[in-house]
Chain A
Amino acid sequence: MHPTAPTKPLRAYGDREGDGMVQMSFVLELPPSGRAREAAKRFAELHGLREPIIATMEECAEGFSYFVAYGHSKHAVDVAQIAVLEIRTEALSRDEIEQRIATRLGRKIVVVGACTGADAHTVGIDAILNYKGYLGDKGLESYKGFEAHNLGAQVENDELAARARALHADAVLVSQVITQRNCHKENGAALVDLAKRQGWRDEVVLLFGGPRIDHKLALELGFDAGFGPGTKPSDVASYLAERLCGEARR
């Protein structure tokens, strides 16, 4: 645990320790009225807000009201009880990554990535793999130590699997942006299943990424690591360099 982590249960911080002040906004299917205001107040109370104030009540569509409520949340969270799965990797510099791959592996790390299923959003996979990168952090294509293949969007799992095997991929990156009705989880899990059935699951590092993905979810679905919003290409590069040519060899 982090040395400065608090040991007492935490309440939300408004302007004084322990006041529990939170803001919430929501919509109820009621036109604005005294009764609607009272309904909103009770709704807030049911969420654990003491002395809620309905700061705004406004019609946002015919027969619907939008509310902003403030109140003192009675809930507290015991941080000492929390364990979070985080990717354990040291942030390596570009030179360190290149050096490590060159000296310890002696060949390029082959990475194949795609945005699978019906998902047409290449923003994530492009940011990680393409030369251009993201916010000044160049993509894997820009490293001497990586051979990056970006298959783009709307790639079926079968096709991704076939290409990954044909290219002798060391790592396979699956990007999922659309999350409607949990299609991202289904697509991701289906690839892991396919890899197992075809017998190459343990020959590659499987990575899962996207705005609604975290390491924990990726592990649950059978991936080796998950990368969420704000991930830079160098984060993925560090992870792969360490995983494939670090001390912790599989």
Chain B
Amino acid sequence: MAVVPLDERTVEECRRIAGAIAGDVQRYIDGHTSVGVERTIVRAFGIEGVDDQGVPLVNVLIQRLHEKKALGRGASYYIGRELLRGARGVQQAAERLAFGPEIDIDYGGVSPSAAKDALEAPTKEALARIDQARVEREGLKARIAPGPTPLKYVIVATGNIYDDALQAKAAAHAGADIVAVIRATAQSLLDYVPHGATTEGYGGTFATQENFRIIRRATDEASQLYGRYIHQTNYSSGLCMAEIAWMAAVERLDMLLNDAMYGILFRDINMCRTFVDQYVSRRFIGRAQIIINTGEDNYLTTADAVEKAHTVLASQFINEAFALRAGLVEEQMGLGHAYEINPWLEDSFLMELAQAQLVRQIFPRHPIKWMPPTKHKTGDVFFAHVHDAMFNLVGVTTHQSIELLGMFSEAIHNPLLVDRFLSLKATRYVFSACKHLGDEITFKPEGRIAARARAVLAETHALLVEVERASIWDAISTGAFADVKRTRQGGKGYAGVAEREREYVNPILDALEATGSRA
């Protein structure tokens, strides 16, 4: 593959600084939990159901604990104690806690370690359920291999899960390797996960466990039919990012949009809450061997893609550092970036090529996610098709791993069936016609592309130095990323964060940390 000459010491230094930035936040994370985290753990024990108002049992239970300021001991403590007090299984324990008489928040003769011991079998079962889904995926992929990279990723977003399933199969028929069901726009701010199959949603379809199963069936059928493994993707983001990560783990999703900072910047979710939740979500993701897709591409939809290219790279280093601390391996880190430079700028293509090449070289083992132009798309669908072709050319030349296909109707509507077909056809052409182009060319060491790559790396380094000096908490509050400013206690969901007590009980998280930890 062609390379641009880069100063490896600067790259190493960027990694070191990003590690220090994430390490600082990790100390906070390790001392806290949240309503989202505790609901996830309760779900992971296999506890399910809703109350007579349709509120998930896990929400009722965790809300009750949180109102008594009892979350810092871990919901697991109370479930374990309930087992010792005679509950027949975790489900009954949870129901007693959610719907029974007031919860006694004193120890009441049951020590944290005794409660934890009582959860040994349920903890093993919880992990076995995740492992089983992972093994099943590995088996399927061994029998039905995925297509060649860049994997072609398309979205469906009808609002009705049954239509989504139909469109997912149609997309696979037309050549897609990855199908993502876009979530309903409001879901990221819901502090609960809706229940059951859903047929109504604006801007997309609700992520629910049942909806995950419906799409999994459709994509599995498509894998069989077309002899190519079809990946399923959804969103582990927003106030329920950890719960959704667990659902995806047990329903065998292949990829998840999951970012350490996206919710803070783009959904105004509190940063303490986000950092705590992203960590636990990634512990499940790590165990399930799901590939994450990070959201740096979004930075360039609000900030300028030429001036702020370095913020994308800086954030990729930070996302990588957080992911390492949550036990992910590089092969699971689909770091995101995008083709969002104004197409009418002279040499815009060269700058796009430089950035894509830079990211590829700095993150060689990572399944990089390459996003299409959106900001400069207009209703001129004919021009948009050409714009997407240039994007595809960069994607294949620089060996991007996962490519979300551009849609010529991007500025008009959610993609129609035929829009997706034409996009896949054009992409197939570019990918095949230029398959080995990147191996045939060399970049002039002193040329424009190499110079641009070096400049972005240097600016990235300077930004990381600045972020470390100020701490990420303050850097975000002064708009270092995406030109968006957020404060430490501002945003949604801060009330759902709780400090862990010294004897915090969470045997599932302990087990995930014991097997996955690296950094």
Partners in one complex: yes
Interface residues of A (CB under 8 A from B): 25, 27, 60-62, 64, 66, 118-123, 126, 130, 132, 152, 154, 178, 180-181, 183, 211, 229
Report Cα–Cα, A118/B203, bound state, in Å.
Answer: 9
Inter-chain contact A60/B185, CB cutoff 8 Å: no
Q: Which of A27, A120, A154 contacts B418 (CB 8 A)?
A: A27
Q: A27 — which chain B residues lie within 8 A by C-beta? A: 416-418
Inter-chain contact B203/A178, CB cutoff 8 Å: yes
Inter-chain contact A154/B379, CB cutoff 8 Å: no
**Shortest beta-carbon contacts, A-B, top 9:** A61-B170, A60-B421, A118-B186, A120-B185, A66-B418, A178-B203, A27-B418, A180-B202, A60-B418
Inter-chain contact B202/A61, CB cutoff 8 Å: no
Interface residues of B in 209-223 (CB under 8 A from A): none
Q: Please report whether the interface of chain A is mostly helix, strand, loop or mixed according to DSSP.
A: loop
Chain B 148-185 against A: per-residue CB contact (8 Å), 1 yes, 0 no?
00000000000100000000011001100000000011
Inter-chain contact B185/A178, CB cutoff 8 Å: yes
Known A-B contacts A123-B302, A126-B302, A152-B268; the reply to A64 vs B417 at CB < 8 A is yes
Known A-B contacts A60-B174, A120-B267, A152-B268; the reply to A180 vs B203 at CB < 8 A is yes
Chain B residue at smallest Cβ distance from A180? B202
Inter-chain contact B189/A154, CB cutoff 8 Å: yes
Inter-chain contact B185/A118, CB cutoff 8 Å: yes
Is B392 interfacial (CB-CB < 8 Å)? Answer: no
Chain A residue at smallest Cβ distance from B268? A152
Task: For residue A32, give the distance in angstroms from its CB to the closest CB of chain B.
Answer: 13
Task: For residue A93, give the distance in angstroms from its CB to the closest CB of chain B.
Answer: 24
Inter-chain contact B417/A154, CB cutoff 8 Å: no
Inter-chain contact B159/A180, CB cutoff 8 Å: yes
Known A-B contacts A123-B301, A132-B483, A154-B189; the reply to A61 vs B173 at CB < 8 A is yes
Inter-chain contact A66/B421, CB cutoff 8 Å: yes
Interface residues of B (CB under 8 A from A): 159, 169-170, 173-174, 184-186, 188-189, 202-203, 266-268, 301-303, 375, 378-379, 411, 414, 416-418, 421-422, 483
Report Cα–Cα, A27/B186, bound state, in Å.
Answer: 31
Q: Which of A120, A130, A178, A183 contacts B188 (CB 8 A)?
A: A120
Inter-chain contact A61/B421, CB cutoff 8 Å: yes
Q: B159 — which chain A residues lie within 8 A by C-beta? A: 180
Task: For residue B397, give the distance in angstroms from its CB to the closest CB of chain A.
Answer: 28
A sample of 5 cross-chain residue pairs with beta-carbon separation below 8 angstroms, ordered by A number, consists of A120-B185, A152-B268, A178-B185, A178-B202, A211-B411
Task: For residue A67, give the distance in angstroms from its CB to the closest CB of chain B.
Answer: 10
Inter-chain contact A118/B174, CB cutoff 8 Å: no
Q: A123 — which chain B residues lie within 8 A by C-beta? A: 301-302, 375
Task: For residue B469, give the distance in angstroms from its CB to the closest CB of chain A.
Answer: 24
Q: Which of B173, B186, B268, B414 contacts A62 (CB 8 A)?
A: B173
Report Cα–Cα, A120/B189, bound state, in Å.
Answer: 10
Task: For residue A232, give the distance in angstroms from its CB to the closest CB of chain B.
Answer: 15
Inter-chain contact A118/B417, CB cutoff 8 Å: no
